[in-house]
């Protein structure tokens, strides 16, 4: 294929070398071929050449044949796969040294970091000393004792080696390290290692390095470390050396070898010899696995994979592709609970062959390369816009956080702010769905011709609603799982969570959601992500397809209700108790109805991120259409601890203006919050738990998305206190705990908390919606059964047809589970060790110095053209018509029908075969006679305050019957 057809074309000299080198060369070729297949503007011309013992065996006079050297000179980079053959002594190694010298390569770059944190347990170091390890060695290659004047021992028994360095030699390496450091934000710290207290060359080294960084890289943090101290730190607490270690030849050789031992296997690291980085200059770099020694049989390909990644980044300037490869490696190695493939070769404690490892890696790499393409497409301008002038910014009206988020996300705005009622198009950062809701979305997606999603790396699909390991083999579950997996393969979805990995909202909010961003999901509890400072909104399933495909959606800027927190929560009281307190005070569908709810105030700092999650999660029960917490230092600290670095950045921390206008402002004193429960079937029928003490129960459930890790910890400690006090679970009733994700299960198991649940008679379930929706065919409450649950909804038939669900916090459910009667947990909470509780829940709170937040202001895309006037529902350009009078009896459905999708269409009948099938189950249990009237020919008049997708399906069902209906 002609190189001139491509914008970026590279020549790669591939030197397989000895023994297993040919296998590794094939791995490198597969990676490069995949890149040029997926990425439209990149091409590689790859040529193989004899090198090392193979060259000598082929009759060449040197391990580095002239033709091989010339090919390397004409290339943009060279890859050496293996070097060494005992038949030829050290001749192959001499060829490698000659290659570096002939190409003028003076710097050795060796990154030392775990490609996946799942490999940390393999290290002999304590996990806390190597978590986040990220060291890059910059070692001088041409000077020092290895190249100085040498005297072998003579008859007098005296020998010596001379260390010599010049200013220019030190300067060029220091500049290379400085250039590398400033490519990161913030710049990487540089540790210059020497022996300045003894050696003259080290004193020169220290002086020159200080001068170069002071004059040319003042933004880079530089310190000087004596080599013996550096070795000690690497032996005890190596993460203290994170950043760049800049040092001379012999020190770098020894220290980098020492550091490689941290990772147990040198086969997973890479190394490079360069004279330039980031494509500057013409000298090609030479890239190789850290361990080049020949071995028989199959070899872990991870070292050559890492070498290709290093080449892409620092020699070819393909940083995006290098990052994608690094992500693919991590995804391949990561455990299932981290949405990884858990695929490791035998030397890393796994069972995969090198071929299986490479096949899995390339599958993941394909998805990440597709993500680059979708990100490139997303970066193209989608509307004619002009930048916002400084004068326009200052003229913007005072706004709250939600209004600022919508302003920043707005496309083609005619003014630098938004106002209530404006119809605007906004950029959507994430779309969310589940296997159940995808079943409904797919109908719309099929009608659109199944176009490629806008961003395959900004789509979250979790298989959670209908699944359970005990029933996933059944036809309904298998069908929904298969549909979701088909879409995953077709769209190359990065964030696909297989069955029973996480509830849809749990890990998304904890590991992906960012402040200042717009999140749209096909489930009403999408508002959970608002706890991270996103503006998170639940749409109907069909309505989520458009932002999934286009990256945009339309919003009518909602009225915003602001709730300010003051005070501090009593001990043992959490976020679930706060939202029930709010529901009890203000009732549902009142101040929050059809409005967005914004949470803030001085008491916000007293609420952990888990507490905020529970509050945001149940804002939909409060009546809110969307939610946002004002992101703060707690938010920033949580995000900074995320496993994946790409999801620690990208947030925008907006602050509400002091004079921002809200439709309503309320204050909640956290010190007044008590333990309460909401009685069936209304989330706002809230009473103190002690008022219902003694109420008999048939089941206790702790789980669902609203039940956070913090709640599960408190529930376990309450059970522990009860067991310690001599309480034992009665034989009557069912008890089940279902944590929200495998990550949470792992953490609970680590501290022995799941064992406490088991001792207290609870069955431990796999992550999923479980009893909260009652549709996985096993976790279904029986008709007439009374349950106490920590879930978010207590509507009719929610937990199972004819069941009675009451909701409260995990602590109250735990205390009530012993005797299967409602029990106030306060007497058990009073026995808890507060220090132990704080230690266990500390993951949800920041500790140490608070991060300094960078407060953002909106930067909207302003339209350069006029925008057509959009008519509201009260305006029309159609001529007046004669009014028609309709007389009818009224059926009033009450409050719950607005948000209780189970009343409209019970979840067990979703997603249905088609609209007719789905519509035929509308009001199956709640008001079946209404459906019968429609079917028998009655004219329907609708008076709605809120239209949910399940109701929309019913209206389409009416139309499919040829019936007439009117929306007033």
Active site members: 146, 195, 228, 253, 257
Total residues found in the chain within this entry:
968
Q: How far apart are CA 537 and CA 650, in angstroms?
A: 19
Q: Which residues, 6 or more positions from 632, have their beta carbon under 8 angstroms from its beta carbon?
A: 604, 605, 653, 853
Q: What is the DSSP string of 723-774?
A: HHTT----SSSEEEEE-SBHHHHHHHHHTTHHHHHHHTTPEEPPSS-GGGTT
Contact between 916 and 957 under an 8 Å Cβ cutoff? The reply is yes
**Helix/strand/coil percent split, the chain, to 5:** 40, 15, 40
Cα distances from 522 to residues 318, 439, 496, 921, 948, in angstroms, run 36, 11, 15, 20, 11
What residues are paired with 669 via a beta bridge? Answer: 566
Q: Of 572, 582, 569, nearest to 825 (Cα)? A: 572
Matching residue, tokens 């190249």: 147
| Helices 709-724/834-841 angle, 10° precision | 150
Residue 864 is classified by DSSP as S
Please, are residues 177 and 246 in contact by the beta-carbon 8 Å criterion? Answer: yes
The residues with which 535 forms a beta bridge, in sequence order, are: 518
Please, is 194 exposed, middle or buried when counting C-beta atoms within 10 Å of its C-beta (0-12, 13-18, 19+)? buried
Q: Are 377 and 40 in contact (CB under 8 A)?
A: no
Listing DSSP states for 422-456 in one string gives -EEEEE-SEEEEEHHHHHHHHHHHHHTT-PPPS-T
List of E strands, 159-283: 160-161, 190-194, 222-226, 243-247, 270-274
Question: Which residues have a Cβ under 8 Å from the Cβ of 494 and sit 6 or more positions away?
Answer: 367, 368, 371, 456, 457, 459
Helix (H, G, I), strand (E, B) or coil at 817: helix
Question: Cα separations (Å) of 98 from 66, 68, 543, 660?
Answer: 11, 12, 64, 69
The tokens describing 214, both together, are 């002071």
Q: What is the CA radius of gyration of the chain?
A: 32
DSSP string, 234-245: HHH-GGGG-EEE
Tokens 């970091």 sit at which residue? 113
User: In degrees, to the nearest 5, what angle opens at C-alpha 491 toward C-alphas 485 and 497?
Assistant: 45
Q: Do 55 and 68 contact (CB within 8 A), yes or no?
A: yes
């Amino acid at each position: 294929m002609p190189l001139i057809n491509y914008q970026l074309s590279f020549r790669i000299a591939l030197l397989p070398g000895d023994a297993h080198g040919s296998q590794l060369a094939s791995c490198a070729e597969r990676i490069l071929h995949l890149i040029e297949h997926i990425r439209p503007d990149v091409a590689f011309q790859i040529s193989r050449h004899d090198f090392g013992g193979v060259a000598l065996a082929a009759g060449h006079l040197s391990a580095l044949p002239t033709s091989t050297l010339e090919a390397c000179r004409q290339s943009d980079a060279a890859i050496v796969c293996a070097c060494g053959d005992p038949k030829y002594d050290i001749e192959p190694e001499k060829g490698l040294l000659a290659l570096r010298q002939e190409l003028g390569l003076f710097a050795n770059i060796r990154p030392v970091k775990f490609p996946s944190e799942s490999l940390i347990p393999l290290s002999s170091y304590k996990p806390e000393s190597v978590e986040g390890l990220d060291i890059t060695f910059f070692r001088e290659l041409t000077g020092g004792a290895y190249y100085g004047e040498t005297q072998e021992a003579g008859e007098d028994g005296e020998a010596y080696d001379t260390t010599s360095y010049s200013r220019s030699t030190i300067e060029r390496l220091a500049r290379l390290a400085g250039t590398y450091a400033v490519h990161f934000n913030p710049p990487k710290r540089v540790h210059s290692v020497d022996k300045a207290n003894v050696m003259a060359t080290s004193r020169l080294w220290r002086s020159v390095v200080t001068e170069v960084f002071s004059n040319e890289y003042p933004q880079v943090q530089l310190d000087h470390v004596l080599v013996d101290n550096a070795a000690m730190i690497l032996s005890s607490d190596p993460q203290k050396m994170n950043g760049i270690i800049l040092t001379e030849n012999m020190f770098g050789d020894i220290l980098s070898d020492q550091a490689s031992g941290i990772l147990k296997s040198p086969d997973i690291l890479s190394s490079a010899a360069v004279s330039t980085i980031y494509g500057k200059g013409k000298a090609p770099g030479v890239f190789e696995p850290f361990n080049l020694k020949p071995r028989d049989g199959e070899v872990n390909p991870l070292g050559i994979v890492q070498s290709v990644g290093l080449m892409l980044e620092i020699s070819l300037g393909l940083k995006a592709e290098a990052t994608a490869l690094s992500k693919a490696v991590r995804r391949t190695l990561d455990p299932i609970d981290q949405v990884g493939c858990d695929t490791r070769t035998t030397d890393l404690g796994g069972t995969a062959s090198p071929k299986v490892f490479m096949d899995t890696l390339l599958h993941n790499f394909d998805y990440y390369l597709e993500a680059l393409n979708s990100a490139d497409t997303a970066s193209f301008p989608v509307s004619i816009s002009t930048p916002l002038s400084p004068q326009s910014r200052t003229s913007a009206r005072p706004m709250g956080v939600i209004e600022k988020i919508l302003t920043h996300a707005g496309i083609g705005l005619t003014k630098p702010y938004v106002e209530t009622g404006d119809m605007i198009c906004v950029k959507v950062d994430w779309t969310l769905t589940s296997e159940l809701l995808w079943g409904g979305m797919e109908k719309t997606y099929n009608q659109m011709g199944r176009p490629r999603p806008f961003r395959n790396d900004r789509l979250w699909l979790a298989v959670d609603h209908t699944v359970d390991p005990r029933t996933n083999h059944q036809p309904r579950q298998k069908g929904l799982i298969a549909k979701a997996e088909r879409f995953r393969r077709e769209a190359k979805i990065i964030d696909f969570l297989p069955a029973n990995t996480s509830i849809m909202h749990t890990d998304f909010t904890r590991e992906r959601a960012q402040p200042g961003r717009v999140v749209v999901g096909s489930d009403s509890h999408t508002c959970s992500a608002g706890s991270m400072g996103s503006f998170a909104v639940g749409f109907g399933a069909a309505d989520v397809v458009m932002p999934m495909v286009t990256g945009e959606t339309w919003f009518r800027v909602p009225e915003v209700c602001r709730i300010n927190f003051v005070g501090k929560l009593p001990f043992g009281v959490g976020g679930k108790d706060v939202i029930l307190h709010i529901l009890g005070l203000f009732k549902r569908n009142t101040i929050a109805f059809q409005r967005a709810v914004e949470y803030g105030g001085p008491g916000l700092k007293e609420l952990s991120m888990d507490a905020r999650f529970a509050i945001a999660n149940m804002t939909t029960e409060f009546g809110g259409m969307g939610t946002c917490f004002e992101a703060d230092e707690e938010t920033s600290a949580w995000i900074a601890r995320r496993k994946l670095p790409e999801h620690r950045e990208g947030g925008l921390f907006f602050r509400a203006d002091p004079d921002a206008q809200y439709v309503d402002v309320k204050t909640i004193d956290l010190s007044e919050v008590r333990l309460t429960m909401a009685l069936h079937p209304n989330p706002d029928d809230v009473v103190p738990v002690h008022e219902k003490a003694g109420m008999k129960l048939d089941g206790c459930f702790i789980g669902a998305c609203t039940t956070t890790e913090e709640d599960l910890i408190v529930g376990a400690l309450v059970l522990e206190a009860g067991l310690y006090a001599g309480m034992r679970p009665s034989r009557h009733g069912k008890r089940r705990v279902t944590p929200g994700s495998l990550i949470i299960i792992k953490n609970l198991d680590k501290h022995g908390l799941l064992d406490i649940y088991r001792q207290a008679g609870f069955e431990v379930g796999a992550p999923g919606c479980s009893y909260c929706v009652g549709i996985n065919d096993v976790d279904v409450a029986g008709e007439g059964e009374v349950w106490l649950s920590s879930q978010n909804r207590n509507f009719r038939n929610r937990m199972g047809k004819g069941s009675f669900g009451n909701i409260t916090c995990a602590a109250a459910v735990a205390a009530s589970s012993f005797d299967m009667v409602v029990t106030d947990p306060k007497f058990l909470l009073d026995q808890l060790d507060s220090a132990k509780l704080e230690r266990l829940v500390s993951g949800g709170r920041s500790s140490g110095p608070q991060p300094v937040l960078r407060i953002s202001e909106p930067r909207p895309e302003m339209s350069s053209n006029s925008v057509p006037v959009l008519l509201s529902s009260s305006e029309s350009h159609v001529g007046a018509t004669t009014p028609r009078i309709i007389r009818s009896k009224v059926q009033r459905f009450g409050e719950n029908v607005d948000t209780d999708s189970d009343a409209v269409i019970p979840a067990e009948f979703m997603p249905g075969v088609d609209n007719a099938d789905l519509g035929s189950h509308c009001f199956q249990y709640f008001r079946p006679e209404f459906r019968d009237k429609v079917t028998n020919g009655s004219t329907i008049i609708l008076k709605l305050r809120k239209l949910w997708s399940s109701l929309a399906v019913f209206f389409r069902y009416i139309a499919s019957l040829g019936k007439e209906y009117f929306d007033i």
